[in-house]
Amino acid sequence: MVRSLFYGVIIFLTIVLGAILIGNLQMAMTFGGGLGLVCLLSSPILSRAFANGNTVHIKLSHESQQYRRLRLKWIGRTLFFAMPNLVGAVAVFFLHFY
């Protein structure tokens, strides 16, 4: 999980560096926030939060413990990857517009 957080910070810093070189900080806000939102929205899809209750109950009852752990690990990874991108996009917004 810490590795996912580290990768999120590195990717956001790369986006900010590219935006500074181009001279458009709004691009850093858009790409960083967009990447964070994609990861944030993929997490509930992995946890099956948008599925029907009966379907989820049937699938979870036949799911192995190993697959459940792997799915929960990926949920955590996507959330920890999304955090620095979303926080950084908000920080760039306040630095750029205020």
Whole-number Å distance between alpha carbons of 80 and 92? 19
Quick one: average pLDDT of 30-39? 95
Quick one: average pLDDT of 19-44? 93
Lowest mean pLDDT among 35-39, 53-57, 81-85, 94-98: 53-57
What string of DSSP letters covers 20-42? HHHT-HHHHHHHHHHHHHHHHHH
- Whole-model pTM: value is 0.84
Count of domains observed in the chain: 1
State the residue range of the domain holding 34. Answer: 2-97
Q: Which amino acid is at 81?
A: F
